[in-house]
Structure 1
Amino acid sequence: MIRVGTRGSLLATTQAATVRDALRGLGEEAELVIVNTIGDKVSGPIVEIGVGVFTSALRDALLADEIDIAVHSLKDLPTAQDPRFSLVAVPERKDPRDVLVSRSGFPLAELPPGSSVGTGAPRRVAQLRLARADLEIQPIRGNLDSRMRKVATAECDAIVVARAGLLRLGRAQEATEVLDPAVMLPAPGQGALAVECRADAAASLVEILAKLDHEHSRVVSAAERAVLADLNAGCSGPVGALARIDAQTLRVEAAVCAIDGSRVIREEAEAHLVGPELLSESHAVALGRRVAESLRSMGAMELVGAVQGEPGLS
């Protein structure tokens, strides 16, 4: 029996269930094990709580042999490698873009001035302020259901959330607008899952889990996370990144924004890959680092550091 560890929220268990079901499809016995995490218990901003708030308890459960694998949202997984664990699979990624859910049905460009838009992510806050300085940003936290209710109960005029979450819960039709990455670059790794096990896990388990890996999803996510890692930004940084593979070209676009929307630094780069290097993770990481280095040279670190003093962001 493969014990699949997950947070207890509806979205987390739904995501983990796709991994469990994929394992069952391979003829393996698998079951979900709910692990309570600090991120589910506290109400403070993630920027204050710290990176890895949603992953540490799952990792502790791995080390305690309470679970065999942990399923994370890849965007929540720290970019710094921990030698105790191994990222063995990135299943096929859902749409990484963000969406606007508005009570009025108006898209972002048509929301009336002064409309309240709920989000706590510094990346989203900064890009919203850049696009619409006349909106009121309302810091919110909570699972996807609770965020959606804030629109239904008129606590917010609109919210910004990840489209992947709505897709996984069968609620994609509730989105008012899929936000163009030119307006709202997603979080690095958004829409992807991470299947993690102990570094000393049995080779037979690793071999099974490797069958869940989606090469394209792993490569583009690696490029995006390389940007984040090189900027030392963490999941709470005002950093957006999106990597795409078209034909034999890998493109990486990234942006770092001032939290007040007064400044944005954007950069993109591409690599033309051929033969077996087409989906090389190492080449993707190198390209992501190249983008990050360019952002650094334009003053990105000043913007990354500024978010630490902003209250109410998560």
Structure 2
Amino acid sequence: MTQTTTVADALASTSGAGYELVRVKTEGDVTSGPLSQLGGTGVFAAALRLSLLDGGCDVAVHSLKDLPTTQPEGLVIAATPARVDVRDALCARDGLRLDQLPVGAKVGTGSPRRGAQLKAARPDLQIVDIRGNVGTRLGRVAGSATPEDDGGVGRGIQGDLDAVVLAAAGLERLGLAAHITEYLDPEIMLPAPGQGSLAVEVRTAGTGNPEVDAALQALDDEPTRLAITAERALLGRLEAGCAAPIGALARLLDGDLVLTSVVCAPDGSATLRRSATATAADRDGAHAVGVALAEELLDAGAAELAGL
């Protein structure tokens, strides 16, 4: 709701149009099992997309990392606003950093990607699968408490973990950055493809309001679009979903688009990390470098390593 309101306010400010927020519950919101067992890909997106196709809403706002790489017929990502912090964040008891956590510390995450990279960095850690909203997850950290209700997911489980790992962008949007004890460097933990980015999706024919359609064009940020195009092309070629133990990050460095990716064994016992530079810093070049780097990873045994 926070990120949707941010996009709605931006579109309203540019177009002069008013808006109404439409709440849609997704499978990922109402199912309490591990994400890796829900089919992973699309569990936070399918219901929103159906609402969009059925005319229940005119614009859908997604966390881009939750979107499947295959675009459904009849819908288009009209805007990718400027990306915010891509990093994962450690929220630990007593202000601890990752290298300060005691041997055998319990760290909560619902992401196989985060769990695998944590184990690669600290094989002694115990990774605990967790679900729930941000307040629920922060409440699992010993000595931490937040006022948010958890909607019944994990209620009554408090203070049983030494730390949790969450996306820095989400914590910052919610005004909860004070809980962050360390921003995890991408050298230690590469983010999910698309992390820190939003996808604003509409029907292929547009919203029906020319001013809003123009505002969507203005909201689209080209450097962000190039980065996520490369990251999602890699993910698509690896035929992996948002629950796979894969990290990727594309950045414009001195005018070059550089893509780095890591593929992990689920238990963190082995990793493959590679980088590549696009031959051209445009959308075709971004897509091509994503596919090329995926091919390199596959040739190096990525599918067998990650169980893709």
Q: TM-score, normalised by structure 1?
A: 0.89
Aligned counterparts, 1:28-47, within 5 A: 28-47=17-36
What is the match of residue 64 of structure 1? 54
Provide the rounded CA distance (Å) in 1 between the counterparts of 2:136 and 2:220. Answer: 31
Provide the rounded CA distance (Å) in 2 between the counterparts of 1:156 and 1:290. Answer: 40
> 1:208 offset after TM fit, Å?
3.1
Q: Residue 193 in 1 paired to residue 195 in 2?
A: no
Say whether the 8 Å CA contact 1:238–1:257 is kept in structure 2: yes
Q: Residue 106 in 1 paired to residue 96 in 2?
A: yes
What is the match of residue 305 of structure 1? 307
Q: TM-score, normalised by structure 2?
A: 0.91
Partner AA of 2:181 in structure 1: T
CA RMSD of aligned residues (A): 1.3
Q: Residue 286 in 1 paired to residue 288 in 2?
A: yes
> 1:147 offset after TM fit, Å?
0.7
Which of 79, 83, 87 lines up with 2:77 in the alignment?
87
> 1:171 offset after TM fit, Å?
1.7
Return 5+ residue gaps in structure 2 as ranges: 145-157
Say whether the 8 Å CA contact 1:233–1:304 is kept in structure 2: no
Q: Indicate the SS of the match to 2:102.
A: coil
What is the match of residue 245 of structure 2? 238
Return 5+ residue gaps in structure 1 as ranges: 1-12, 307-314
What is the match of residue 25 of structure 1? 13
Report percent identity of matched pairs.
49
Provide the rounded CA distance (Å) in 1 between the counterparts of 2:122 and 2:213. Answer: 47
> 1:242 offset after TM fit, Å?
0.6
Provide the rounded CA distance (Å) in 1 between the counterparts of 2:184 and 2:120. Answer: 14
Partner AA of 2:184 in structure 1: L
Q: Indicate the SS of the match to 1:32.
A: coil
Say whether the 8 Å CA contact 1:103–1:154 is kept in structure 2: no
Say whether the 8 Å CA contact 1:248–1:272 is kept in structure 2: no
Partner AA of 1:46 in structure 2: L
Say whether the 8 Å CA contact 2:87–2:190 is kept in structure 1: yes
Q: Indicate the SS of the match to 1:211.
A: helix
Provide the rounded CA distance (Å) in 1 between the counterparts of 2:213 and 2:161. Answer: 45
Q: Indicate the SS of the match to 2:200.
A: strand
Count, aligned residues: 289
> 1:47 offset after TM fit, Å?
1.9
| Distance change >3 Å, CA 302–CA 67, structure 1 → 2 | same
> 1:203 offset after TM fit, Å?
7.4
Partner AA of 2:26 in structure 1: T
Provide the rounded CA distance (Å) in 1 between the counterparts of 2:118 and 2:232. Answer: 22
> 1:207 offset after TM fit, Å?
3.0
Provide Cα deviations, 1:61-108, integer angstroms capped at 9, x if missing partner: 112211001000000010012122100000111111101000121110
Aligned counterparts, 1:125-164, within 5 A: 125-151=115-141, 152=144, 153-164=158-169
Provide the rounded CA distance (Å) in 2 between the counterparts of 1:287 and 1:232. Answer: 16
Provide the rounded CA distance (Å) in 2 between the counterparts of 1:67 and 1:171. Answer: 29
What is the match of residue 309 of structure 1? none
> In terms of mean alpha carbon deviation, does 77-86 or 157-166 score higher?
77-86
Partner AA of 2:291 in structure 1: R
Partner AA of 2:33 in structure 1: G
Provide the rounded CA distance (Å) in 2 between the counterparts of 1:226 and 1:170. Answer: 32
Provide Cα deviations, 1:139-165, integer angstroms capped at 9, x if missing partner: 101111111111124221001110000
After TM superposition, the runs of 4+ consecutive aligned structure 1 residues lying more than 4 A away are none
